[in-house]
Structure 1
Amino acid sequence: MARAVRFDRYGGTDVLYVADVEVPAPRPGEVLVAVRAAGINPGEAAIRDGGLAAMFPATFPSGEGSDLAGVVEQVGDGAGPFAAGDEVMGWTDGRASHAEYVAVPADHLIRKPAGLSWEVAGSLYVVGVTAYACVRAVGAGPGDTIAVSAAAGGVGSVVVQLLKVRGADVIGIASDPHHAWLSSIGAMPISYGDDLAQRIREEAPSGVDAFIDTFGPEYVRLAVELGVARDRINTVIAFDAAKEYGVKSEGSSTAASVEVLAEVAELVASGRVRMPIAATYPLDEVRAAFEELEKRHTHGKIVLVP
């Protein structure tokens, strides 16, 4: 038996619990991974509370979690180049990584670069491929000035750095405590609050070329107010606003591949992109981990360590 996070109905963090479950057996094409770290994400909270029930309904009892890193325990038939003892990272589509063991398709895994900690490797997939999709969606390149909302959050932190890798100038919208960090990675920090559009115009007198929203619909509206071309606005969260204004909503599903994950992982392992870890929690404290996440002021990633 092994421990895994479960919930039996939609609701707040109080519906989460840790259950004893059978260790899954890998099917053909899968490997069994002993999880060392698994990141948590806002989308998982939205699935749990029913906010995404129309798009991503849950079947109860439900597990949760996509991101993972760990050690291969057992290999199913035809599971590719992996062997027991290999250190791997990747994702599961089965809402199952918040657990001690998870069976994962081999084509959802890469070998963990030696330079990555378990915590970073185990929380990189969702934010890494989402950030990659955002940067690609707006066609970021040298000479662009691009604004990013929630620029110090899990996705935003990586978006800003991928934009810098591509040679863009970045305006990072974030609360004051995160300004020093944003400056350290080459962004121009700007605070939330009144007259934001005017303050952005003052920061970028030649205009904003693209806008990436990782927070909510008010920033889609802000991007339109700033005169950004609709095909260079991308949101990963405000789907209704994306439809209303005719802007893009490309995220993890449009960049979900081991090739993209490997590219981002190498950037992090080489030090060109930094992946801040805000906090780690043992599996038994999954409620506290999500309570912290749902305050929406986290700098970087929150990670479960089974």
Structure 2
Amino acid sequence: MPELPEVETVRRGLAPAMEGRRIEKLVLNRADLRFPFPENLVETVENRTIIALGRRAKYLLIDLDNDMTIIAHLGMSGSYRVEDHDAEHVPGRFHTPRNVNTLHDHVVFQLGGLPARRIIYNDPRRFGFIKLAPKTMLEADPSFAGLGPEPTGNSLDADFLARRFAGKSQAIKSALLDQRNIAGLGNIYVCEALWRARLSPFRAASHLVTPSGKPREGLKRLVPAIRDVIAEAIEAGGSTLRDHRKTDGTLGYFQHSFSVYDRTGTPCPHEDCNGTIARAVQSGRSTFYCPACQKG
């Protein structure tokens, strides 16, 4: 499933193509994706101008001039592409041939202005979804209620996590994947951040907190590690696994910078470590780590 950097990459790719444009027509080529489309979706968005594109956790937010917001989730295989009327191809450097099976084009935004433009949502597995909410009520929407701070925001710091982790016997990796603690952080980047901070993914979250509730050194290392790995992944265009693509059709390239994720049996990249990357399963998910240096 695309993680936060992938969704942010999509947002950045779509924003210049969509912001300030009027939605002349919305075409729904089926009745549902993971869930049925809102009954009033077409009437609510047609002839409205797109004010801004935002993101919360792994959700794409499209703000309209009627104070409504389209909430979109990519699911497992969802992607958007931008098509201009006079374009013969979608620009970009391709890592592998782009899937052009239009049978999976489920939603089409036909935008006004010049050049004529279409924004197409393609989703072979149909695990994504689109819904509506008043902009002023977003935080009360079930998708966002209870979400923790963004890993890129100033509200995420070691003191905040210390309060969340105090007394928790839950493994630190599971605690980091809990969206109530940090919004949008997924399996790939948790593995990478824990490796950078040299923390064991199996250690109890409470181990990173002192008896008085203060963050230990490991937790102080973890917060900048999370920020750095997310920032680098966004800059690189995300991490493409299986189906995910950027809006220009190209693949993300951060996967070439993985230190531990999906690198079982390779040497640990830490220069002062002679360990080998291992794989384990935690709560049904693969965990990649170095047993030699991730002991904290």
Q: TM-score band (shorter)?
A: under 0.3
Query: What is the TM-score of this pair, normalised by structure 1?
Result: 0.25
Q: Which structure has the larger Rg? A: 2
Higher helix proportion:
1
Query: What is the TM-score of this pair, normalised by structure 2?
Result: 0.26
